[in-house]
């Protein structure tokens, strides 16, 4: 056995292992590991790969429903969408690399999540993302925004998968640690779904895709530590993406998958060859032996340590049926990709690596995967968290003094302003199946060649999650449910991407467990299980001088099904004279609203409790909205979220290019809490059949109030409580709404 440097405490620390964890390594090996073996332990036991701080809490999430084919644990979640077809999807973070090198970080985030989906046999049909940036005027932010957007576009556009939706927030807590979460949705035939468990002693283990280089070594370990002042020096740990090769890999894999040659397949993502081979072998309960000399290499002189820890992109590992190697190789050669048999499946339960005629690693698989460390980290109690977060009850809030000015300001504010500048840089139409484009509540993509449509949306309101993790966790799921319902889709399942700061702080653990508890309750109440997910911890940075933890950001990506995509509703006002209704009860809850933050200057601790979510109401209201859409009663629907009913109405007017007279505000009292409050479970809808709507709502015991009529080229709010009428021309509204990103990013943003 080659023995390079002896393993010192310093080397152990450099590999991100604690002294206790190293003791476990010694115990499971029964001897001192060599450097290659230590490297393998370090990546497998990193937070990123092992979920060691979150695993015991994730187990509490609901993951089952009759339509769930495969829940968490595989590369992505799989749900039944009828006719023998399945939707396969997952969301994943690429936060740390994107802060260090935004273009490549974001690009490879897209590449990685695409591989998670097509490795299971699905053709990717849509990408979405959830992005969080710091203060728009932070000196680094334009560079980060431009890099991330160009990276997502550069990769997604080239592979030819439309980027159809997403969300963006700005908050100072992300100044030194932006979040880039990418989601892919794919479609497969249910009898052609591929899993990762290796089997068949003696079967060939095959490497396909790009060659292995020295990029991304220790990426998973880097992604499992907080940033310090020297984080820029970690740039060499960021991988470099090649979307062209990914496109070839998609086509080659799908071509091979049409045959019966594959036993198991797994992409090489975080921790590259190490985690893919360990996961395949441990899931299959077998062993694995690899010939490191056979690994296709981009550079000369690479060591087994480097090859095992490289995160070079666009690579896959497969177990093939005996005798099918030549058949498979021909397909990959046609697509001009590397193909190499690099090992065999064994019955030893160990991972053995050979190189230059020597065994350079020999590790029992159990300790690497299933028996990896598991921590029940100290967690602050709810009361302790409340005291720490220090969110004060909301006192008396002044009424809006200039309703029109408030609405214009909100529409121009960073969290509400039009995202057109972003999504026009993404090819959101390739495939010609995007029947609802970005800008609505949810994107809708046709299932190619059928009448079915998949609706998808990403959602989370981090400021709610900070103020009340439990309610915030519920709200993220509920808003996703609402967005899918608003286009008429039946919400089926979600993926989550849990972005939090350091789990070694009890308050952060309280955020994580609180959000998960809320999320779990919401999923159960809404029949909306979690089928896949990802956890990203240590999202905090001393780079900005503060020791800044991000807001808790458990992003949700949801998928819903429309039996007939052509029945889906959009947010746009359709026709003059149609009535505008608000569906769902308004409690006038202003706490944590964007009106408070942008207009009254109250946020965080000073902005009170977030709006509570009543899950039974959420479900009932969503069910009613979906049935009204299916029956053609509604002509437009839009959920009320950031900025409340007023912003929802304004977005509907802009989307349709028609104004509205909002009349019936007076009877509800003061306009600010009604129109700017962010009460949950509400939709603004339009109809030409107000009687039917009223009757259907009454039958379901759901509040629906007519508040006005579509028409004109302005929004008119008749504010009887203050005896004034606010008139906002659509042109002014559009200027405000469309102005933020172009003003921030400017014509030279491509060079930022």
Residues 6+ apart with CB under 8 A from 325: 204, 206, 341
Measured CA to CA, the distance from residue 483 to residue 69 in angstroms comes to: 24
Angle of the 730-745 helix axis to the 141-159 helix axis, nearest 10: 100
* Contacting other proteins within 333-352 (CB under 8 A): 335-336
Q: How far is the CB of 244 from other proteins (least distance, A)?
A: 3
- Told to check if 159 binds other proteins by CB under 8 A, we report yes
Among 1, 244, 402, 669, binds other proteins (CB under 8 A): 244
Q: How far is the CB of 427 from other proteins (least distance, A)?
A: 4
Among 6, 9, 27, 751, binds other proteins (CB under 8 A): 751
Instruction: Report which of 193, 188, 214 is spatially closest to residue 272, judged by C-alpha positions.
Output: 214
CA distances from 612 to 28, 429, 587, 588, 639 (A): 48, 37, 10, 11, 16
What end-to-end distance do the CA atoms of the chain give, in Å?
A: 50
- Told to check if 201 binds other proteins by CB under 8 A, we report no
Q: How far is the CB of 156 from other proteins (least distance, A)?
A: 10
- Give the CB-side neighbour count of residue 631, counting CA atoms within 13 A: 13
DSSP letters spanning 324-362: -HHHHHHHHHHTT-EEEEEEEEESSSEEEEEETTEEEEE
User: Of residues 15, 48, 171, 218, which has the active-site annotation?
Assistant: 48
User: Of residues 94, 96, 218, 638, which has the active-site annotation?
Assistant: 94
Three-class SS state of 44: helix
Q: Which is nearer to other proteins, 245 or 592 (CB)?
A: 245
Q: Which is nearer to other proteins, 103 or 581 (CB)?
A: 103
What phi, psi does 475 have (nearest 5°)? -65, -35
Tell me if residue 48 is catalytic: yes
* Interface map 421-450 toward other proteins (x if CB under 8 A): --xxxxxxxxxxx-x----------x----
Q: How far is the CB of 424 from other proteins (least distance, A)?
A: 5
- Told to check if 102 binds other proteins by CB under 8 A, we report no
Q: Which is nearer to other proteins, 17 or 249 (CB)?
A: 249
Tell me if residue 57 is catalytic: no
Measured CA to CA, the distance from residue 347 to residue 289 in angstroms comes to: 10
Q: How far is the CB of 409 from other proteins (least distance, A)?
A: 27
Q: Which is nearer to other proteins, 43 or 422 (CB)?
A: 422
Q: Which is nearer to other proteins, 15 or 123 (CB)?
A: 123
Q: Outline where DSSP puts E strands in 348-468.
A: 350-355, 358-364, 434-436, 443-446, 453-459
Q: How far is the CB of 432 from other proteins (least distance, A)?
A: 5
Judged by CB under 8 A, the stretch of 16-24, 153-161, 216-224, 325-333 that binds other proteins is 153-161
Among 248, 561, 628, 658, binds other proteins (CB under 8 A): 248
Q: Which is nearer to other proteins, 130 or 248 (CB)?
A: 248
* Contacting other proteins within 518-577 (CB under 8 A): 565-566
Q: How far is the CB of 563 from other proteins (least distance, A)?
A: 16
**For the chain, how long is the longest CA-to-CA vector?**
89
Q: How far is the CB of 572 from other proteins (least distance, A)?
A: 11
- Told to check if 330 binds other proteins by CB under 8 A, we report no
Measured CA to CA, the distance from residue 461 to residue 469 in angstroms comes to: 10
**Residue 225: burial class (beta carbons within 10 Å; 0-12, 13-18, 19+):** middle
- Told to check if 222 binds other proteins by CB under 8 A, we report no
Q: How far is the CB of 660 from other proteins (least distance, A)?
A: 23
Q: Which is nearer to other proteins, 260 or 564 (CB)?
A: 564
Q: Are strands 163-170 and 123-133 parallel, antiparallel or unpaired?
A: parallel
Judged by CB under 8 A, the stretch of 157-165, 373-381, 590-598, 659-667 that binds other proteins is 157-165
Residues 6+ apart with CB under 8 A from 238: 97, 100, 101, 104, 105, 108, 215, 216, 219
CA distances from 352 to 49, 201, 303, 459 (A): 20, 14, 15, 43
* Interface map 284-303 toward other proteins (x if CB under 8 A): --------------------
* Interface map 604-643 toward other proteins (x if CB under 8 A): ----------------------------------------
Measured CA to CA, the distance from residue 503 to residue 496 in angstroms comes to: 18
- Told to check if 742 binds other proteins by CB under 8 A, we report no
Instruction: Report which of 373, 280, 478 is spatially closest to residue 28, judged by C-alpha positions.
Output: 373
**Residue 490: burial class (beta carbons within 10 Å; 0-12, 13-18, 19+):** middle
Q: Which is nearer to other proteins, 151 or 520 (CB)?
A: 151
Q: Which is nearer to other proteins, 159 or 549 (CB)?
A: 159
Residues 6+ apart with CB under 8 A from 173: 134, 462, 548, 549, 550, 551
* Contacting other proteins within 406-425 (CB under 8 A): 423-425
* Interface map 112-151 toward other proteins (x if CB under 8 A): --------------------------------------x-
Per-state percent for the chain, helix, strand, coil, to nearest 5: 40, 25, 35
Give 232's DSSP letter. Answer: G
- Which positions are annotated as active-site residues? 48, 94
Binding footprint of other proteins on the chain (CB under 8 A): 150, 153-154, 157-160, 242-245, 247-248, 335-336, 423-433, 435, 446, 565-566, 747, 749-751
């Amino acid at each position: 056995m080659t023995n390079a440097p002896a393993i010192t405490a310093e080397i152990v620390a450099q590999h991100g292992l604690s002294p206790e964890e190293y003791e476990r390594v010694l115990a499971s090996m029964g001897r001192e590991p060599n450097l290659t073996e230590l490297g393998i332990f370090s990546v497998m036991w990193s937070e990123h790969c092992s979920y060691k701080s979150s695993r015991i809490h994730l187990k509490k999430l609901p993951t089952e429903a009759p339509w769930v084919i495969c829940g968490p644990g595989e590369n992505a979640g799989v749900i039944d969408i009828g006719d023998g077809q399945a939707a396969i999807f997952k969301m994943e973070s690429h936060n740390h690399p994107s802060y260090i090198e935004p273009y490549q970080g974001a690009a490879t985030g897209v590449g990685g999540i695409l591989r998670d989906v097509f490795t299971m046999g699905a053709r990717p049909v849509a990408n979405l993302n959830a992005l969080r940036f710091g203060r728009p005027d932070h000196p680094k932010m334009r560079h980060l925004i431009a890099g991330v957007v160009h990276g997502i576009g550069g990769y997604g556009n080239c592979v030819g998968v439309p980027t159809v939706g997403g969300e963006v927030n700005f908050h100072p807590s992300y100044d030194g640690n932006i979040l880039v979460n990418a989601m892919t949705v794919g479609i497969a035939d249910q009898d052609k779904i591929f899993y990762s468990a290796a089997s068949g002693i003696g079967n060939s283990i095959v490497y396909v895709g790009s060659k292995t280089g020295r990029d991304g070594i220790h990426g998973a370990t880097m992604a499992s530590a907080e940033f310090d002042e020297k984080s820029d020096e970690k740039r060499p740990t960021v991988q470099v993406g090649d979307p062209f090769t990914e496109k070839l890999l998609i086509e080659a894999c799908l071509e091979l998958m049409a045959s019966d040659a594959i036993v198991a397949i797994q992409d090489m993502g975080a921790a590259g060859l190490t985690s893919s081979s360990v996961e395949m072998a441990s899931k299959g309960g077998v062993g694995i032996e690899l010939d490191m000399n056979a690994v296709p290499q981009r550079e000369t002189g690479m060591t087994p340590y480097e090859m095992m820890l490289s995160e070079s992109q666009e690579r896959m590992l497969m177990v093939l049926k005996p005798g099918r190697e030549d058949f498979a190789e021909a397909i990959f050669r046609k697509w001009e990709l590397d193909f190499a048999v690099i090992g065999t499946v064994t019955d030893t339960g160990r991972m053995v690596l050979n190189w230059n005629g020597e065994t350079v690693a020999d590790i029992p698989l159990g300790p690497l995967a299933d028996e990896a460390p598991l921590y029940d980290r100290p967690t602050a109690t709810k009361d302790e968290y409340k005291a720490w977060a220090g969110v004060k009850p909301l006192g008396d809030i002044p009424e809006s003094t200039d309703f029109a000015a408030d609405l214009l300001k909100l529409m121009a504010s960073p969290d509400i302003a039009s995202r057109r500048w972003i999504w026009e840089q993404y090819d959101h139409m390739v495939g010609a199946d995007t029947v609802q484009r970005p800008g609505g509540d949810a994107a809708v993509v046709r299932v190619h060649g059928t009448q079915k449509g998949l609706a998808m949306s990403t959602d989370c309101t981090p400021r709610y999650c900070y103020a009340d993790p439990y309610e915030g966790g519920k709200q993220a799921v509920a808003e996703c449910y609402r967005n899918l319902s608003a286009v008429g889709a039946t919400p089926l399942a979600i993926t989550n991407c849990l972005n939090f700061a350091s789990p070694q702080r009890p308050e952060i653990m309280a955020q994580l467990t609180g959000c998960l508890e809320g999320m779990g309750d919401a999923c159960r109440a809404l029949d909306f299980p979690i089928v896949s997910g990802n956890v990203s911890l240590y999202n905090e940075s001393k780079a900005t001088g503060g020791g800044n933890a991000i807001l808790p950001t458990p992003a949700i990506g949801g998928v819903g099904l429309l039996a007939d995509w052509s029945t889906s509703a959009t947010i746009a006002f359709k026709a003059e004279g149609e009535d505008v209704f608000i569906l769902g009860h308004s409690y006038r809850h202003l706490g944590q609203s964007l009106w408070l933050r942008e207009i009254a200057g109250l946020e965080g601790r000073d902005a009170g409790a977030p709006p509570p979510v009543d899950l039974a109401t959420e479900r009932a209201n969503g069910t009613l909205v979906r049935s009204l859409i299916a029956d053609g009663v509604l002509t437009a629907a839009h959920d009320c979220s950031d900025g409340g009913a007023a912003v929802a109405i304004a977005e509907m007017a802009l989307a349709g290019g028609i104004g509205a007279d909002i009349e019936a505000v007076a009877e509800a009292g003061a306009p600010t809490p009604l129109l700017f409050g962010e009460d949950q479970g509400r939709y603004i809808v339009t109809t030409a059949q107000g009687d039917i709507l009223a009757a259907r709502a009454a039958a379901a015991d759901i509040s629906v109030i007519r508040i006005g009529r579509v028409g004109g080229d302005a929004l008119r709010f008749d504010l009887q409580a203050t005896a004034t009428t606010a008139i906002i021309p659509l042109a002014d509204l559009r200027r405000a709404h469309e102005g933020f990103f172009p003003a921030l990013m400017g014509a030279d943003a491509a060079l930022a």
